[in-house]
Structure 1
Amino acid sequence: MKILLKNGTVVSSKGKKHSDVLIEDGKIAKVASGISDDAARVIDCEGEFIMSGVIDAHVHLREPGGTHKEDFATGSKAALKGGVTTVLDMPNNNPPTDTIERLLAKYELAKKKMVCNSRFYILGTAENLNDVKKADMACGVKLFMGKSTGGFVIDDATLESFLKNIKTKPIVVHAEDEERIEVRKKEFEGDENPAVHSLIRDDESAYIAVKKVLHLAKKYGSKLHLTHVSTKKELEVLKKFKSKKITAEVATHHLFLNKNAYKDHGNFVKMNPPLRSEEDRVAMWEALKSGLIDIIVTDHAPHTIAEKKESYENAPSGVPGLETLLPLMLDAVNHGQITFERMIEAMCEKPASIFGLKGKGFVKAGYDADLVVVDMLKEGVVGKGGYATKCGWSPYDGWKLTGWPEIVICGGSF
């Protein structure tokens, strides 16, 4: 099927250009003004913007092992609803994705169930370095310096071993210092106020871990990607080590929420790393705009409402975010918090570059037809009409946003 997007404005990191886009056989066939094709289905995009489909490099779709929270079908539908056409799924499942066999099984299952594009990480452990070296189909290797869902924490020797020996794929690190977190847990034992989460997993725990892993990455010339940077202290040390091989991401909740949100949302805004101060939140925006932080992700980590209503100690960490990623950022563009061009770079182009996603991230002839047509004037309310994610809630529920995806095309199909 041919599709012709007429009269739109194509946006990239280089700027905006009034263009038509012709799609054929799942690929972008031509990008130019004045395209005509009698065999194509024509969609008038006058007054709207055409961008690459969003690439979310950090999601937890919970399959296998947690499919009461989310699965490949519901998670990928939530992604497309929010303009995300490619997701990179984390390996902390039950069982974990820590062998080539389990990684391949995930890809096979995704083919049957997912409606968007997907790539999968392999988990790094003390025992599987050789497997990871051979896992060419993995988009990266994930290492946990601090415990999160699944509890897959590694020691310093394992961390160094991976940074020394893995050279062909990104090493993606959750950097929180587990030793400090355990000490802080004892200090605040018995405190059931969810706000204590930001005190237990404090900025120092992030700083210690980030500093350690950055030193090792520099020592070995590793391709390091820091996940969900959330504090000014991390940015200060990142600035000293920043290079083409060292990249970083920020999650939307660290851009749009601060620790004051515990008052109204309690455990529903409990995540790892936790919400930070307003000063930290503002610093994330500045680092994103300057390019110190390379990309924007959701860290989509759904849990059920019932699970989130448990006590602070028992409630799991994580929030959903796939459906709200693009609307939140388009609203930010409308409010002058970031340029449209920088947003495209951070959500489409840079993720494709960092993780080697060929044919993704750009609106160019020959690239995959993963496209989003957005209406920057459209107003909407988060949650109105329900959610596609299985968990059925959002920390942004009720937020009024301007700028929404109007049409989402993935692989040349609606």
Structure 2
Amino acid sequence: MPNDWLIKNAELINEGRRFQADLRVRDGRIDKIAADITALPGEQVIDASGLWLLPGMIDDQVHFREPGLTQKADIAHESRACAAGGITSYMEMPNTRPPALDRETLEAKYSRAAEVSAVNYAFYMGASNDNLEAIKNLDPKAAPGVKVFMGASTGNMLVDDPEVLDGIFKHAPTPIITHCEDTPMIDALHQAAREKYGEAIPAREHPLIRSREACIKSTRLALELARRHDSRLHVLHISTADELALFEPGPLEGKRITAETCVHFLHFSSDDYERLGFLIKCNPAIKDAADRDAIVRALAEGRIDVLATDHAPHLLAEKEQVYDKAPSGLPLVQFALQAALQQVFAGHLSLERVVEAVSHAPATLFDVDRRGFLREGYAADLVLVDPRKPHRVTREEVLSKCAWSPFEGTRFDASIVSTFVNGQRVWDGRQIAPDVRGQRLQFDR
């Protein structure tokens, strides 16, 4: 059959182990893993000698801009960029236009993804000061979590009413996902920068305006609320060394409070603002090299549980504006896994730990049904990586609709040579299979 595969002689990386094996895919699932599997008639055989075979990356934080902002990005383009980068499932944020603050808007996004998404998909319910009843009534199988912007955000999605925040943490039927920055602090620092620089605020000021103190204050509030109500809390995009002591190291199992960081916080530092300017302007801000190094260490020890992207595209022309007009966010999905693997080549993270952080942990944390692991009976969401094939990023190959990448010119030591979604090869190292569609993620809750 066209989507039955036998991958032979690969090095599998799964659940803390690296081992040589063959893997058979039948009917969209992993049928068998064994030392030596004999090919069946009609089966497509891939000789993966010298290649790593990983479970597909599950990105728990992306912004695909659809509906309402599709001049920047859309589900079709960004999901194809995911496939080229080894991301086989994504969880998309609610701050679209209109925002996903009710079940009807949420389901409309699922319907659109079913039509155009090249990889698997799920969509968060958003929180506002006005939709606590919708959150209370949310079917826990309908969304990976409830997203709470506890810091500055766009539209009607900044939750700053203490009673509403308390109600969300008390009643949310899913994990609570937070963006933690303190808006009053940021506003005061932003005004001070305007008074000093006028419209010409330099990029290097961004991590001072979106300050570490603003992150710490908001994260402490989220943790206090979660402990008060024994909520299941997942804090997104940790960007400072200072926040790390607030989280426990060690295995994910049993934790009620978990943390995520993003690939750009492992790769860039404040030293890069001089070179890249507002191209790397994002919220929370990329901070100092010491923060970057501490975050890598925290990821290695399990103090940070998940590694994701916060993929948030904007048009290049928008990024070339002055500080107050240049929007925050970076396109990241296409090269995120390669950027993570650079930490392996640099000796900072083990390959097993990267796989745990990008695949196993998000599957476990969000109760994703039978994905995120190389296990018999699980969905065949797979990535073949060539660790001996370097790749230098060019603008011409960018598949995101915004058509640029902050990684342009970067040399990665490994290449993504194949990506499989539900047993279908969607990326062959050169092009996207146009007819492959992902599936709606199911949550075993």
- The alignment's TM-score, normalised by the length of structure 1, stands at 0.97
Which of 8, 27, 30 does residue 25 from structure 1 map onto? 27
| Equivalence for 1:302 | 313
Q: Secondary structure at the match of 2:363?
A: helix
Which of 206, 214, 238 does residue 205 from structure 1 map onto? 214
Residue 118 (1) aligns with residue 121 (2): yes
Which of 95, 104, 109 does residue 107 from structure 2 map onto? 104
Give 1:327 deviation, angstroms. Answer: 0.9
Amino acid at match of 1:318: G
Give 1:236 deviation, angstroms. Answer: 2.0
Q: Secondary structure at the match of 1:362?
A: coil
Residue 262 (1) aligns with residue 264 (2): no
| Equivalence for 2:159 | 154
Deviates more, 1:74-83 or 1:129-138: 129-138
Query: Unmatched 5+ residue regions in structure 1?
Result: none
Give 1:362 deviation, angstroms. Answer: 0.4
| Equivalence for 2:82 | 79
Give 1:151 deviation, angstroms. Answer: 6.0
Residue 4 (1) aligns with residue 6 (2): yes
Equivalent residues of 1:326, 1:404 under 8 A apart: no
Aligned pairs for 1:230-379 within 5 A: 230-239=239-248, 244-379=255-390
Give 1:405 deviation, angstroms. Answer: 1.2
Query: Unmatched 5+ residue regions in structure 2?
Result: 426-445
Equivalent-residue separation in structure 1 for 2:164 and 2:392 (angstroms): 46
| 1:250-303 CA-partner distances (Å, limit 9, x unpaired) | 011111111111101111110000010111111100110000000101100000
Q: Secondary structure at the match of 1:119?
A: strand
Equivalent-residue separation in structure 2 for 1:304 and 1:342 (angstroms): 34
Q: Secondary structure at the match of 1:329?
A: helix
Amino acid at match of 1:141: V
Equivalent-residue separation in structure 1 for 2:421 and 2:203 (angstroms): 39
Give 1:182 deviation, angstroms. Answer: 1.2
Aligned pairs for 1:11-90 within 5 A: 11-36=13-38, 37-90=40-93
Deviates more, 1:27-36 or 1:131-140: 131-140
Give 1:238 deviation, angstroms. Answer: 2.7
Equivalent residues of 2:15, 2:373 under 8 A apart: no
| 1:98-146 CA-partner distances (Å, limit 9, x unpaired) | 1100000000000001010000001011221221233220110000011
Equivalent-residue separation in structure 1 for 2:280 and 2:418 (angstroms): 30
Deviates more, 1:333-342 or 1:99-108: 333-342
Q: Secondary structure at the match of 2:303?
A: coil
Give 1:39 deviation, angstroms. Answer: 2.8
Equivalent-residue separation in structure 2 for 1:231 and 1:412 (angstroms): 39
Equivalent residues of 1:60, 1:300 under 8 A apart: yes
Across the aligned residues of Structure 1 and Structure 2, the Cα RMSD in angstroms comes to: 1.5
Give 1:331 deviation, angstroms. Answer: 2.1
Residue 188 (1) aligns with residue 193 (2): yes
Equivalent-residue separation in structure 2 for 1:198 and 1:373 (angstroms): 37
| Equivalence for 2:429 | none
| 1:158-203 CA-partner distances (Å, limit 9, x unpaired) | 221111111x311000000111111111211125212211111100
| 1:291-337 CA-partner distances (Å, limit 9, x unpaired) | 00001011000000011011111010000100111111222212212
- Cα gap change, 1:402 to 1:43, in 2 (>3 Å): same
| Equivalence for 1:130 | 133
Equivalent-residue separation in structure 1 for 2:186 and 2:371 (angstroms): 38
Equivalent-residue separation in structure 2 for 1:233 and 1:373 (angstroms): 36
- Cα gap change, 1:176 to 1:407, in 2 (>3 Å): same
Amino acid at match of 2:347: G
Deviates more, 1:226-235 or 1:377-386: 377-386
Which of 205, 227, 232 does residue 236 from structure 2 map onto? 227
Q: Secondary structure at the match of 2:389?
A: strand
Equivalent-residue separation in structure 2 for 1:19 and 1:234 (angstroms): 40
Give 1:148 deviation, angstroms. Answer: 2.9
| Equivalence for 1:164 | 170
